[in-house]
A = this chain, B = another copy of it.
Amino acid sequence: MESLYIIKIGGNIVDNPVLLTTCLQAFAKVKGQAILVHGGGKMATSMAESMGVQQTIIEGRRVTNEASLKIVTMVYAGYINKNIVAQLQALGVNAMGLSGVDGNLIQAHKRNHDSVDYGFVGDIDTVNTNLLLELLSSNTKLVVAPITHDGKGQLLNTNADTIAQSLGTALASKYKVHLMYGFEKEGVLKDVNDPSSVIAHIDRPLYGTLKDQKLIFEGMIPKIDNAFEALDNGVQSVIIGKAEKMNELMNGTSGTTITN
């Protein structure tokens, strides 16, 4: 099977033009099939502020009200997505930007909580695998914005990490999928204060040991749990590290690779 890299870059990259360019240059060098999933960054928040749109935060999570949804649709699926694609085209990459609504790529439903209404936030139901296979087979590199829809005309704001994982799972039977999460650290660190203490490879037994020894800091646990969930769903490897070192993350000279 052919390899497919699904690379998620977060808001810290999107917000920083220099880092973003470094990332896109690395992405342009990826041989073979690749999908870039981007998050949002601070632009949506600053736009909301400049337009006087009220932001509601419940239990640390932003509520996507109608005005916020409008803004994230514009910023994520419009400004960020099209600028990334334009930069990739300039680097000679045949890139195409899509949101979850395009070609019914990702259908979701509005999140239901008994207690809290997070507004127009979508939890993913289905991924249009055939569309992905068709586009990838024509050597198009896809750039996916974290906006989905419910099939009834409603757009929904959806977590970019979850989108990357869902695309990976959907394609796991057709490609050797490598999921890569770019974040602000070098990888999973043995010592949070020592950037050189990257653990190059984690498998399930080692993860158990590291957790027992309390050597994995708390924020990393959900990330690694999600990684193992993806692996259980057929993904080959999950790689965590600095997004701008994409090429090194791929050849294993940087970051942490997680396998089952």
Interface residues of A (CB under 8 A from B): 47, 50-52, 70, 73-79, 81-83, 85-87, 89-90, 94-99, 101-104, 134, 138, 140, 147, 149, 151-155
Contacts and interface: CB of A to CB of B under 8 A. Distances in A.
Q: Is the interface of A mostly helix, strand, loop or mixed?
A: helix
B102 A96 contact: yes
For the complex of A and B, the 9 pairs showing the least CB-CB separation, nearest first, are A78-B78, A74-B74, A90-B153, A74-B78, A96-B103, A96-B102, A86-B149, A77-B78, A74-B79
Nearest to A93: B104
Contacts of A51: 47, 50-51
In the complex, which of the residues A47, A87, A89, A99 has the most CB atoms of chain B within 10 Å of its own CB atom?
A89
A225 to B, nearest CB: 32
B99 A82 contact: yes
Nearest to A72: B78
Given A74-B75, A75-B78, A77-B78, A103 B140 contact: yes
Contacts of A81: 77-78
Contacts of A76: 78
13 contacts: A51-B51, A73-B82, A74-B74, A77-B78, A78-B81, A82-B155, A83-B155, A85-B101, A86-B154, A89-B101, A94-B104, A95-B103, A97-B102
A101 B86 contact: yes
Contact of A89 (B85, B140, B149): B149
B73 A101 contact: no
A149 to B, nearest CB: 5
Contacts of A154: 86
